[in-house]
Amino acid sequence: MNEDKSDLMKSFLAEDSSGIEINKITETIIGSAYKVANTLGCGFLEKVYENALAYEIRQHGLEVKQQESIKVLYEGFEVGFYEADLWVENRVLVELKAVKNLDDVHKAQCLNYLKATAVKICLLINFGNPRVEIKRIAL
């Protein structure tokens, strides 16, 4: 079990060809989410937060794609597409919500996206309350 955790931590710290650690990417996204939440507060539609968060992350020099179509694979076979709210540095999925409470179904949604796309990290961010809620979901 410890070996599995060790491998997971190595993947979190692994650098891609751009040399950016995945933890640095998620740290930037989370910091940006707090700034957006503190500036806008709660009560807007999800799209407002999506646009503001994408803008803020780009201010930190990271590549952000909005509503990016990502292949969904089933046993190695392409079965469709999923549109990610935000796709940061082609490494981190960001699923945004503007709801009163996050539910288990939201976490399951992120886990399914990770399994279907072979991406390792998804941040689930809820702007629906006065205090932003952030969940880091990993495979």
CA gap 139, 130 in Å, rounded: 29
- Per-residue confidence (pLDDT) for residue 1, from 0 to 100: 41
pTM: 0.83
- Per-residue confidence (pLDDT) for residue 100, from 0 to 100: 95
Find the helix packing angle between 46-59 and 22-40, rounded to 10°. Answer: 130
Instruction: Indicate which CATH number applies to the domain containing 110.
Output: 3.40.1350
- What is the residue range of 17's domain? 2-138
In the chain (139 residues long), the average pLDDT of successive 10-residue segments reads: 42 49 96 98 97 98 94 89 93 97 94 89 97 95
- Per-residue confidence (pLDDT) for residue 105, from 0 to 100: 95
- Per-residue confidence (pLDDT) for residue 72, from 0 to 100: 87
* Cross-strand bridge partners of residue 96: 125
Q: What is the DSSP letter of 85?
A: E
The number of domains in the chain is 1
Contact 69, 81 (CB under 8 A): yes
- Per-residue confidence (pLDDT) for residue 76, from 0 to 100: 87
Torsion angle, alpha carbons of 58, 125, 117, 86, to 10: -30
Strand ranges of the sheet holding 64-74, from the earlier edge strand across to the other edge: 64-74, 77-88, 92-97, 121-126, 133-138
